[in-house]
Every structure is written in structure tokens, then in C-alpha cells.
Structure 1
Amino acid sequence: MPRAKVQRKSTAIDMTAMCDVSFLLLTFFILTATARQPDPLEVTIPTSTYKFKVPDVDIAILSIGKGKVFYEVVGKDVKMATLDKMGERYNIKFTPEQRERFGVIGAFGVPMANLPGFIDMSGDERSKYLDASIGIPTDSVNNQLSEWLLQSRNSVAELHQTQMRVTLRGDGQEEYSVVKKIIAILQKQKINKFSLITSTE
């Protein structure tokens, strides 16, 4: 008696559920990702074999290059609180819109007198302005960098009850005297422990 032949059928897989999950994950990652701020200063950092991950909270980053210093403090709440303190210190009033905008600005390097106008600029205008900027004043008569550091540390201590970490991101070709001056400013504020950002060797 001949065997009955079983008719072969191609298998069909419903991909609808997988597509839904993929788009949900993609949407989640896009909405939760933080945009990387463009670097205002071209810095060629030196290489190192030491590996240590820089924390992403309660930290200030000093970018040093071409004889200029740029400053960035991480955290919107800390930035806004620091701006308020600097405004009181230099008798400059900032609008609520300027406070909000400053909270999302990355590194900056402008004197306090030019800061309100800098905040009001568009992103492209800021980039062009920073190319020609003199950076944050660090001379002995008008040492605004020291004041930024002090007010940032006070803001971190008040808001997060912890000490702010300081990181230097210096150009490998920068003159030693410029870096020495920045380190002297840190030491005057009793900041004797700081990190140096380097690239992997």
C-alpha cells in the first residue's frame, strides 16, 4: 500500500510584533540620549596608558589651548545655580529664559560682561564667537576663572551635598606656563586633586 504524501507548505513568520518592539526600542534610545556638545576649542590631548572613566556628574572641565581657557560644569541645576551666584557677584541680572538656555550650553569661554549676549546667540553664532573669543579671564586683576570655580563648588555642595571634581583637558602642545597658571588657581582654592583627560595610547 503506497504511503500518502504529505504536502509541503512554506512556513510564514509574522514579523509585526518584532517590528513594533524594534521601533519602541529605537524611540526609547533616541528620546533618552543626550546630545554631545561640540567642543569650542580644538585640543589635541596627550596620550596615556592609564585608564580611568571620568564621572558624568558633579564635575567641572577646564579646556586649555591656544593660551585660552574654556569652562564647563556638568548638570543643568548646577549650571543655573552657578549662573545666579555669578550674576550676584558681578551685578548682572539674567532673565529666566537666559537661565534656561545657559543650563543646556556646554563649554564656554567669555568674560562675564559678554555672557548675557553670548547666551542669547544661536548655536552657530556661539561657535563663531568662541573661535575669536579670548576665553575666560585668568589674570591676577580680573580672575573670573577662580570665581567660576568657587561658585560652582558652592552650588554642587548646596544642591548635591558633595565635593565637585575638577578635570583638566589641556592641549599637548600648550605652553607650560599657561597650564602652570591654571594649576596655581586651583591650588589657591585648595584644589590639590584633579584629573587630566588623555587619549588612550
Structure 2
Amino acid sequence: MSRAKIQKKATFIDMTAMSDVTVLLLTFFMLTASFVKKEPVQVVTPSSVSEIKIPETNLLSILVDTNGKIFMSLDKQDDMATTLEAMGEEYGVTFTPQEVKKFSLFQTFGVPMKNLKSFLALSGEEQDKVLKNQGIPCDSIDNQFKAWVRHARIANPDLRIAIKADQQTPYMVIKKVMNSLQDLKENRYNLITSLKTSAED
């Protein structure tokens, strides 16, 4: 006696719910991700055991490379614009509204005041090439670094200061930066380091 054959039906899995979850997760990660700030030079920070987090807002970041070049960044466009206009008044440089707007969009800056107008006239790619060879002067004759910090503090009294320097940066360069901050009575600042692992002990 022959057995009755049961017809096989193709299984159907509704993937609508899965695609909805994927889109929701993608949207969540896009909205909560913090992008890495573009920096003109790469620095390898020294290690430490400190786990104090650097604030994400109202932050003035100071970047120092191995050659002692100093760069800065402010996290708010309004602070950038106000600080630039104040620096222009102090150094006798007049900036157009377009130049102020362009400057306020910079993630990091570090050009002597005498070169700033010509720097702003360059394209984005040319600025990236030029910036890494510039740096804000911080010598005893013309300490523009101190002036930038002073005007940034006036623009935003709630600023927190963070210094990020390469582990190969000469100590005298870091001391010069710290002395400039001390002259402005800026005695509280964070040093950005990488977390020391147990293997490095």
C-alpha cells in the first residue's frame, strides 16, 4: 500500500521586524556617536592611571606636538567667533564676516596672527597642508597663545582647559605653556593621557 506524499511548502519568514530593528539601531548609533576631532598633528599621549573624564562642552583644548608647535580648539562656534574678533582688535587685524564665519567652523586652529588672513583665504585642503607647519607663538617676545586663552576665557567664563601633548614633547615646551596659563591665573586644567594598562606597570 503506497503512502500519501505530503507536499512541502516553502517556509516564509517575515523580515520586516528585523529590518525595523536594524534601522532603529543604526539611527541610535548615528545620533549618539561622538566624532573624533580632526587634528593637524598626531600625538602619542603619555600613559597614566587617572580615569577622570574630560568634559565635552565648554572646553578649550591645547594641542602640543613633538616639535613644540601649539594648536587650540574651542567646542562652540560663538566662542570661536568672539575670540577671533577680540584677537583682531588687539593685533590690529580686521576680519570680514565671511572670514569670522569660516574661522568659527574650524575644529582646530594654530596660525600666527600675521598669517591668519592669508590662511583663511586658502581652500580646506591647502589649510590642512599648511596648518601642521604653523603653530601659535608662545615666546616671551610675542606670546599670542596667552592672548588667545585670555580672550577665550572672556568669551566663555565657564571654559575648562585641557592640554594634550605628545610624550616626546620637550619638558621646557610644556613648562612654557603652563607658565603662560599661570600668568593668566589659570591654575586648573586637565592633562589628556592614555589609560595605563597592567602590562605597562
In 2, the alpha carbon distance for the partners of 1:30 and 1:92 equals 40
**Between 52-61 and 118-127, the greater mean CA deviation after superposition:** 118-127
Displacement of 1:21 = 5.5
In 2, the alpha carbon distance for the partners of 1:16 and 1:61 equals 46
CA distance 1:91–1:24, shift in 2 (3 Å): farther
Alignment of 1:158-177 (within 5 A): 163-177=158-172
Per-residue Cα deviation, 1:129-165 (whole angstroms, up to 9, x for no partner): 02322x10111221111110011111113xxxxx211
- The Cα RMSD (Å) is 2.5
In 2, the alpha carbon distance for the partners of 1:120 and 1:37 equals 22
CA distance 1:195–1:31, shift in 2 (3 Å): closer
Contact in 2 for aligned 1:40/1:131 (Cα 8 Å):
yes
Alignment correspondent of 2:137: 137
In 2, the alpha carbon distance for the partners of 1:103 and 1:17 equals 43
Alignment of 1:185-196 (within 5 A): 185-196=180-191
Displacement of 1:70 = 0.9
| Residue type of the alignment partner of 1:129 | V
**Between 12-21 and 99-108, the greater mean CA deviation after superposition:** 12-21
Alignment correspondent of 1:82: 83
Displacement of 1:18 = 4.2
Q: How many residues align?
A: 192
Displacement of 1:10 = 5.3
Q: Secondary structure at 2:62's aligned position in 1?
A: strand
- The normalised TM-score by structure 1 is 0.83
Alignment correspondent of 1:124: 125
- Identity %, equivalent residues: 41
Alignment correspondent of 1:200: 195
Alignment correspondent of 1:104: 105
5+ residue gaps in structure 2? 1-5, 197-201
Contact in 2 for aligned 1:67/1:178 (Cα 8 Å):
yes
Alignment correspondent of 1:180: 175
CA distance 1:28–1:95, shift in 2 (3 Å): farther
Per-residue Cα deviation, 1:19-78 (whole angstroms, up to 9, x for no partner): 356346535754775653322122121001111111111111111121211111111121
Contact in 2 for aligned 1:90/1:112 (Cα 8 Å):
yes
In 1, the alpha carbon distance for the partners of 2:102 and 2:34 equals 16
In 2, the alpha carbon distance for the partners of 1:72 and 1:130 equals 13
**Between 182-191 and 115-124, the greater mean CA deviation after superposition:** 115-124
CA distance 1:71–1:96, shift in 2 (3 Å): same
| Residue type of the alignment partner of 2:39 | D
- The normalised TM-score by structure 2 is 0.83
In 1, the alpha carbon distance for the partners of 2:95 and 2:31 equals 29
Contact in 2 for aligned 1:46/1:199 (Cα 8 Å):
yes
5+ residue gaps in structure 1? 1-5, 158-162
Per-residue Cα deviation, 1:66-110 (whole angstroms, up to 9, x for no partner): 121111111112111211211222222222222222122112211
Contact in 2 for aligned 1:41/1:70 (Cα 8 Å):
no
Alignment correspondent of 1:42: 42
